[in-house]
Structure 1
Amino acid sequence: MMGNRRPFKAAIIEFNPCLNNLNDNIKHLLKEVTEAAEKGAKLIVTPEMATTGYHYENRRALKPYIDTIPGKTTAAFEKVAKHYQTHIVIGMAEVDVEDGLYYNSAVLIGPDGYIGKYRKIHQWATENSWASWGDMGVPVYETEIGNISMIICMDASYFESARIAAVNGADILCFPTNSTGGSLSMLQAWAEMNGLYVLGANRSNTEKGYHMIGASTVWSPNGEKLAETSYIEEEKTRNETTIIYAEIDPAEYDNRSKRRLQSRQPDLYGDLMLHIGPWDFTKYELIKEAEDVQGNEMSNCAALLQYTPVIGDKKANLSKIKSLLKDTAAETKPKKGLLSLVVCPELSLTGPVHSLELTAIQQLGETDHDETVNEMQKLACMYQTHLVFGMIESDSHALYNTVMLLTPAGDIAAKARKLHVTESDERWATPGKDIVVTSTKGVGRVGLMVGYDAAFPETAGVMAVNHADFIIVPSCWHGDYGKEMALHTKMMENKYPTNTMTTWDAMARFAQAKTLIANFTGTKLGCRGGSAIYTLDPIYGGETPIVASSDKEEVLVVAIAQTEKDCWFDQNKLLLSRRTHYYRPLVKKFEHVPMLDCN
């Protein structure tokens, strides 16, 4: 139904409703929406619960202000939508006319009237006292300006919400929220990772002591910030409405990230459908494991090796690794204690091999018993550390892009083969078939993935379901996915480091597993460094990510003890609150949706 393929104007209405005042809220919001429509906006998005306010203690308190969909609210906004030939998303409280259940909902209205709605799947504590959890999944509505989905606030903490919208064919994700920062901080990653325009509409005032920060934002499908309202600190709460505008270009609906969806491997993602209930007996074993690992919290550290490889020269690269490790161990022992883990980049001893002939790549392939593994085993034993490295693995006449985890005794604890191969990998690498999480003595439960697998959030999602404490990603990243973080500088209590990358940061937070990246650097190779540890709760004052430079050879030494405790959100809370029934689109075979011809 895509009629208008020309760029169009979208608007975010940062509107602050008055609690317990449905009629006046609708009246005032209509005025603001009309202003945006008069200025040519063809898509208008408003905040969560924009017609009622947010904080209600129970169903009884909300009952006088609840509305049906369609109902009084939709009828009022349908007139504006029809007159100005625009589309409007309203965040509102909904009562189901058939059973009387209440929902935190968003409604989409178009030039021809009511189009559809969304009911919030993942709830925050406040609405748990009155709202039923959403029962519709994440619908996509086909309109003349593009395919539109809606999710709400807390949904952003679960990668599945935006991912389902993308897999179901969305072009635009509308995001009503009442946010103190956490939900808004995920939107750049969800835009770029899924190839969606994302429009996040927040509030900028304080309601019952709960302050919302403004910073409503429009993100492009490649993760660029197109418009943003100002950040409002609590002492400067702003009750008046702010409207911002951005251009949406339907030509951008066909993009690199959207095409990447066709490389998903749904057969591997089945564990996303597992719901880890409160009677998870494996949890007690994992708690004991974690207690054994902790010891002195400052005693465990990891070294992330970042260097420029010599392509195809195993001896030269091994020599570089040995030199970096020798210097690091000498510095680490007296200052920071036990070096528990060393992580090398993807294809550690060969470097990226896309420039080599196929026959040369085949000659670099090795088994578990050949030179690369033997040399790495010696290093693990010498430094009494867990060691993660990457290699071209030869097995049964097939080649794999593989990472291995060695124990301090030099044993192979686990290996993971790259699951989602890149175009350059396809010449020689067979995709792996397993998402790997393993227990280690001294580090914890570790998920292993290879480089480009990080661009597929399902991989880390499965690792979270399997209780990974850490996700380790040897990489050869050159900007082929992800974006440098562009959040408002005040959103994070401790400012994000320069060179922070959206995908890796989002992975740590949506999986609630600290994420360790070791990447190559080198201008001629196009590798962009940024080796890092990403943490679980950087927005609300938790541990800050630590990120290496983009262009220097260095070893980043980071503490890896699980020190963040009693957080508002942790892996246990994540697993208990996942809504697996609605994740089914992520494990179905991808049905190819033809890309729009926007020429």
Structure 2
Amino acid sequence: MDKPDKTTVQIACIQMQPVVGELKQNRTRSLSLIRKAAEQGAQLVVLPELANSGYMFASRQEAFALAEPLPDGETAQALIKQAEELGIWLVAGIAEHAGDRLYNSALVAGPRGYIGSYRKLHLWGEENQFFEPGDSGLPVFHTDWGVLGVAICYDGWFPEVYRLLALQGADVIAVPTNWVFMPGQTPESPTVHHSLCLAGAHSNGLVIASAARIGIERGMHFVGRSLIAGSEGFALSAAGSSENEEIIMAEVDIAAMRRKRQFNAFNHIQRDRRTDLYNIYV
């Protein structure tokens, strides 16, 4: 694919509170916030993990009842239609059923309709009781402004995820997430989630856009604190709290970001990898 010499993209991450079991309410709220982000100039919009269904399932049977096929499910079709109507790119966390299998997935849509999907590779906690681990690898999606990758929540604990997407040319990685409080973490303290995003963005020379949910659902308290991490290892935009719905936004110059992967006359963040040695330890 020929990459443009210069292009920018306005990214929006939507921090919201899906409600488990409330499919229609979650869909209506998602569509409203997506429209609001687009009206503010967003070209890429990211929704949280499992934004259609909520997260804290009581059983696999409940999870299956709240999941839908991709791309033909009711929520998926509504999201695809809105991406077309607004002329935006959209990544939305969604509970997917494929035959008798369940996946924690993300829908990818754009101005010309359905693009594809991603299935979470690394399942967290009780997700293992409901979902199958992802089986579709780590695809990238070519857009009008650059190359888009997707990861979901706990995937970000594994540096290989961001690295493998970067090696396929990813410029932006969208991360639908439902971050929870880690041991010792308070709403005011620095968060390990941010550290992982900032490190992954810097070590690969790309942007990581994480949209987190908020609220307490069946006893689980979610962190919020959505973040757009810039390629130089600093926050481009971050949610102000763990409690409020917010839309955070940042404009990224993709061409400038690609040039900055060359740190100086000697060092390039991707070229300097010692692949002649790394496979010894795999």
Aligned 1:142-157 pairs, distance under 5 A = 142-157=142-157
Q: What is the CA–CA distance in structure 1 between the aligned matches of 2:91 and 2:281, rounded to whole Å? A: 30
**Aligned with 2:253 (options 246, 249, 253):** 249
Secondary structure at the counterpart of residue 118 of structure 2? strand
Q: What is the CA–CA distance in structure 1 between the aligned matches of 2:5 and 2:59, rounded to whole Å? A: 44
1:243: how far off?
0.8
Secondary structure at the counterpart of residue 57 of structure 1? coil
- Residue equivalent to 1:196: 206
Contact 1:10 1:248 survives alignment (8 Å): yes
1:15: how far off?
1.4
- Residue equivalent to 1:592: none
1:30: how far off?
0.5
Q: What is the CA–CA distance in structure 2 between the aligned matches of 1:126 and 1:119, rounded to whole Å? A: 17
In structure 2, the gaps of 5 or more residues are 181-190, 263-267
Contact 2:203 2:269 survives alignment (8 Å): no
Contact 2:201 2:229 survives alignment (8 Å): yes
- Residue equivalent to 1:48: 49
Count of residues paired in the alignment: 265
Q: What is the CA–CA distance in structure 2 between the aligned matches of 1:126 and 1:45, rounded to whole Å? A: 24
**Aligned with 2:240 (options 216, 222, 230):** 230
- Residue equivalent to 2:117: 117
Contact 2:6 2:256 survives alignment (8 Å): no
Q: What is the CA–CA distance in structure 1 between the aligned matches of 2:259 and 2:234, rounded to whole Å? A: 13
Percent of matched pairs sharing the same residue: 34
1:264: how far off?
1.9
2:169 maps to 1:169:
yes
Q: What is the CA–CA distance in structure 2 between the aligned matches of 1:263 and 1:81, rounded to whole Å? A: 38
Contact 1:184 1:200 survives alignment (8 Å): no
- Residue equivalent to 1:81: 83
- Residue equivalent to 1:62: 63
The TM-score normalised by the length of structure 2 is 0.88
Query: Letter of the aligned partner of 1:254 in structure 2?
Result: R
Q: Deviations over 1:132-162 (max 9, x none)?
A: 0011221111111210001011111111111
Flag the 1:271–1:93 CA change in 2: closer, same or farther, 3 A: farther
Q: What is the CA–CA distance in structure 1 between the aligned matches of 2:281 and 2:58, rounded to whole Å? A: 33
In structure 1, the gaps of 5 or more residues are 274-599
2:96 maps to 1:94:
yes
The TM-score normalised by the length of structure 1 is 0.43
Contact 2:52 2:93 survives alignment (8 Å): yes
1:194: how far off?
0.4
Aligned 1:416-495 pairs, distance under 5 A = none
Query: Letter of the aligned partner of 2:231 in structure 1?
Result: P
1:112: how far off?
0.6
Q: What is the CA–CA distance in structure 1 between the aligned matches of 2:20 and 2:34, rounded to whole Å? A: 19
2:235 maps to 1:261:
no
Query: Letter of the aligned partner of 1:31 in structure 2?
Result: S
Query: Letter of the aligned partner of 2:16 in structure 1?
Result: F
Q: What is the CA–CA distance in structure 2 between the aligned matches of 1:166 and 1:8, rounded to whole Å? A: 18
Aligned 1:541-556 pairs, distance under 5 A = none
1:253: how far off?
3.5
Contact 2:84 2:112 survives alignment (8 Å): yes
Secondary structure at the counterpart of residue 116 of structure 2? strand
1:183: how far off?
3.2
1:59: how far off?
1.8
- Residue equivalent to 1:530: none
Query: Letter of the aligned partner of 2:148 in structure 1?
Result: I
1:53: how far off?
0.7
Q: Which is greater in Rg?
A: 1
Contact 1:201 1:216 survives alignment (8 Å): yes
1:221: how far off?
0.9
Secondary structure at the counterpart of residue 271 of structure 2? helix
Query: Letter of the aligned partner of 1:204 in structure 2?
Result: I
Aligned 1:321-400 pairs, distance under 5 A = none
Q: What is the CA–CA distance in structure 2 between the aligned matches of 1:267 and 1:133, rounded to whole Å? A: 31
Flag the 1:272–1:126 CA change in 2: closer, same or farther, 3 A: farther
2:218 maps to 1:214:
no
Secondary structure at the counterpart of residue 19 of structure 2? coil
- Residue equivalent to 2:265: none
Secondary structure at the counterpart of residue 18 of structure 1? coil
Query: Letter of the aligned partner of 1:197 in structure 2?
Result: V
1:245: how far off?
1.2
Q: What is the CA–CA distance in structure 2 between the aligned matches of 1:202 and 1:80, rounded to whole Å? A: 21
Q: Deviations over 1:165-220 (max 9, x none)?
A: 11111000111111134434310000100001110111121112221122111111
Q: What is the CA–CA distance in structure 2 between the aligned matches of 1:19 and 1:25, rounded to whole Å? A: 9
Secondary structure at the counterpart of residue 44 of structure 1? strand
Flag the 1:3–1:21 CA change in 2: closer, same or farther, 3 A: farther
Q: What is the CA–CA distance in structure 2 between the aligned matches of 1:79 and 1:52, rounded to whole Å? A: 19
Query: Letter of the aligned partner of 1:267 in structure 2?
Result: D
Contact 1:192 1:257 survives alignment (8 Å): no
Q: Deviations over 1:279-301 (max 9, x none)?
A: xxxxxxxxxxxxxxxxxxxxxxx
Q: What is the CA–CA distance in structure 2 between the aligned matches of 1:203 and 1:4, rounded to whole Å? A: 35
Query: Letter of the aligned partner of 2:126 in structure 1?
Result: T
- Residue equivalent to 1:32: 33
Q: What is the CA–CA distance in structure 2 between the aligned matches of 1:272 and 1:19, rounded to whole Å? A: 42
Flag the 1:115–1:162 CA change in 2: closer, same or farther, 3 A: same
2:205 maps to 1:185:
no
Higher relative contact order (CA 8 A, sep 6+): 2
Q: What is the CA–CA distance in structure 1 between the aligned matches of 2:272 and 2:241, rounded to whole Å? A: 38
1:104: how far off?
0.5
Contact 1:85 1:110 survives alignment (8 Å): yes
2:7 maps to 1:6:
yes
Moved over 4 A (4+): 1-4
Aligned 1:572-583 pairs, distance under 5 A = none
Contact 1:124 1:154 survives alignment (8 Å): yes
Q: What is the CA–CA distance in structure 1 between the aligned matches of 2:272 and 2:137, rounded to whole Å? A: 23
Query: Letter of the aligned partner of 2:27 in structure 1?
Result: I
Q: Deviations over 1:534-583 (max 9, x none)?
A: xxxxxxxxxxxxxxxxxxxxxxxxxxxxxxxxxxxxxxxxxxxxxxxxxx
